[in-house]
Amino acid sequence: MKNEFDNIMSQRTDAELIQILNGPPDNYQPAALEAARRVFEGRNLSDEKISAAKQEIEQDRLRDDLKSNEPLPIFLKIIAFIFPGILLLLFAGLFKGGGYDKKAKDLTRWTLFGFGFYFGIALLSVGLSYLGL
């Protein structure tokens, strides 16, 4: 019995179908899972092709982990500290959206350190002027 997802699932790679079928069932509608199962079974893949697809999935996961844990370069930390601003926080959002979680966290942290530094200098200046120094 065909459903609306058959065409979509037939365009998926073997690795994508394996990920869909082995992933959390809550991520997809039951009709989509059934279509993925039907398309996967219809391909009659050999054990070698299934193994190759699983290796591809593992390589993608490792690449995503490396990307996620890539640190922010030191020069960007310095720029974020010296020139903190909303624009840098927007760039942190772009890093996060691109899968660079550590870069996003580092950029946000150093931008906030910069804001804190200048806020502290302002408080110190106001405090010293209040004391007449």
pLDDT at 28: 85
Beta-strand (E) ranges in 2-71?
none
Domain ranges of the chain: 6-66, 71-131
Q: Is the pLDDT of residue 96 over 90?
A: yes
CB 14 within 8 Å of CB 51: no
Amino acid residing at 47: D
Amino acid residing at 8: I
DSSP 24: -
Residue-wise pLDDT for 23-45, tens only, equals: 887 888 888 888 888 888 888 88
More confident residue, 38 or 82: 82
Copy the structure tokens of residue 60: 């993608």
CA 101 to each of CA 47, 82, 83: distance values in angstroms, whole numbers, following the listed order = 35, 22, 21
